[in-house]
Amino acid sequence: MGKDQSRSRPEYKKMTIAVDLDGTLAEYNGWEGNNIIGAPVPAMFFRVQRWIEEGEEVVIFTARADCIEAMVPIRRWLIYHGLGDLRITNIKEKGFQEIYDDRAFRVERNTGCIEETDWG
């Protein structure tokens, strides 16, 4: 079922959606340091804004978040771009219902099959 359909159900419960930063929510063209985070990627940025407006919990799930020095620039970036004080982690959580990441491939559960995409 598509996400938008499921969200219109009256008994709908809020989701926890994990979103990668570099290359997913922010432009990324190679590592330049903790203090350099690219401009927002519009399509993903607007999607995240919509999820927040709809009441979903969006968690920034990034390998950057492995030290305190990296957390401050991420938090600053999120606030500067108007997404607010989202939770940031580098730990995959059991509560993540969806994960958006530019490196991931979707594997069909319990089969090992790589799901086909129509994105080219």
Burial classification of residue 42, based on how many CB atoms lie within 10 Å of its CB (0-12 exposed, 13-18 middle, 19 or more buried): exposed
Part in contact with Mg ion (CB under 5 A); list of ranges 15-23, 30-38, 48-56, 112-120? 15-23
Task: Indicate the residue among 22 and 56 with the shorter CB distance to Mg ion.
Answer: 22
Tokens matching residue 9: 């159900």
Q: Does 20 bind Mg ion (CB under 5 A)?
A: yes
Residue number, nearest CB to Mg ion: 23
Give min distance, CB of 63 to Mg ion, in A.
8
Give min distance, CB of 18 to Mg ion, in A.
12
* Backbone phi, psi, residue 67, to 5°: -155, 155
Separation in Å, CA 64 to CA 20, 41, 60, 75: 10, 18, 10, 12
Q: Does 102 bind Mg ion (CB under 5 A)?
A: yes
